[in-house]
Every structure is written in C-alpha cells, then in structure tokens.
Amino acid sequence: MINLTAVTALGGPSARVDHFNGVTVTECPDWALASVTARRGQSGQTADKAQAMLGFALPDIGLSTGDGSLSAFWIGPEQWMIEAPHSSHEDLAAQLKTALGDSASITEQTDGWVRFDLTGPGCTSVLERLSNANTATMKSASITRTGIHHLGCLLSCRSSGDHYSIWGPRSAAQTLHHAIDTAAKSAL
C-alpha cells in the first residue's frame, strides 16, 4: 500500500474548480497519460495492437478517438497520447508496453502535464484570448498543439463550442491556470 499522498498540479489535495460567467474551469488530476510512438516500420503492428488493447482505433492526424473512458489523441507523426482513468490505470504505461511490446516506444506522461477543462457556452470567447488555434471552428474530437502564454500546450476539443481540454507543462500549472482565469474574467 503506497504510503505517499499525491497532490494535484496546483498543489492541493483535490482538484481546483473556478466558475465564471459562462465557463467553468476544472483542474483534472484523475487521469493517467502515456505516450505511444510507433517504431520504425511498425505502424501497422502498433495500430493493430493498440486497437486490440483499447477497443478502438488510434486516431488520424489532428483527431482523437475514445470510448468515453479511455481516449487516444494524435500528437505527432506516428505518435499518440493515451488517456485513462488514474484510479484504474495508474500503471497505464506498463499496461501499454505489455500490449504493444516492441512495436512502439511507450513513456509515462501522467505527471508531465496538468489538464484544465473548460466547459460552458463561453469557451471559445475565452480561448480566443489564449490561443491562436481556430477554436471557433474546431470540430469535436480534434486536437492541436498551441502556445498559451508562452507555454507549449495541447488543446483538445471534446465537444465543439462547450467542452475543451488544455494540457500544459505541470511545473507551470499555476501560470497556466492564472492565464486561463484572467482570460475568463476578461472575456466574459
């Protein structure tokens, strides 16, 4: 039984939630992340084995796929980020390695990132103050890399217009949170 207590990226015992006039910003610490990069000549193997393990196909360029609990995001050529509930998949990287073997390189990415979800009708009004991604026309289940306040982030549209996830470097969680909060107060 692990006798160390985890803290969230913002340093609290539980997730931070902030409400604004049309948007809620939620810290999401309860997700495990792992990167999957197909090895040379192993695209097919990686795709097949990943599908077998996840139950759905790895997504194409700029898209995401999932079953409501597990998700896969395209984050680069032959590279995906897999997301799963932390409570059941804390060893996600090890699980993926077992399933994919030598077809792909896997790394644990869980605590490399902080994830903030934006939900509500005001999402795009806030996002247009933060990112030069064309969030007004971003389709559901799509993802892009973007810079937010000088931080390299991932931005995923979960549901067009009302649900987005921003991943940023965990060490800069406070900076990123502050930038999102400030934009929300300003735009809404």
- CB nearer other proteins, residue 110 or residue 156: 110
Structure tokens at 82: 């897999």
Q: Taking CB under 8 A as the criterion, which residues in 57-96 touch other proteins? A: 79, 91
> With binding defined as CB under 8 A, does residue 171 bind other proteins?
yes
d(CA 82, CA 70): 7
CB atoms within 10 A of CB 43: 15
DSSP state string for 94-124: HHHHHHHGGGEEEEE-GGGEEEEEEESTTHH
Asked if 101 interacts with other proteins (CB under 8 A), we say no
| Neighbour order of strands in the sheet with 64-66 | 64-66, 71-76, 79-85, 31-38, 104-108
How many Cβ atoms sit within 10 Å of the Cβ of residue 8?
A: 17
Rounded-to-integer distance, Cα 119 and Cα 122, Å: 8
Site membership for other proteins, residue 185 (CB under 8 A): yes
Is 143 near other proteins (CB under 8 A)? Answer: no
Stretch touching other proteins by CB under 8 A, among 33-41, 54-62, 65-73, 157-165 = 33-41
Question: 6 vs 67, which CB is nearer to other proteins?
Answer: 6
Establish if 14 lies at the interface with other proteins (CB under 8 A).
no
Q: Which of 168, 36, 37 shows the shortest CA–CA distance to 112?
A: 168
37 is a site residue for other proteins (CB under 8 A): yes
Number of residues in contact with other proteins under rule CB under 8 A: 53
Q: Which of residues 14, 69, 98, 132 is near other proteins by CB under 8 A?
A: 132
Residues of this chain that bind other proteins (CB under 8 A)? 1-9, 11, 29, 35, 37, 39-41, 79, 91, 102, 105, 107-113, 128-129, 131-134, 136-137, 149-151, 169-176, 178-179, 182-183, 185-187
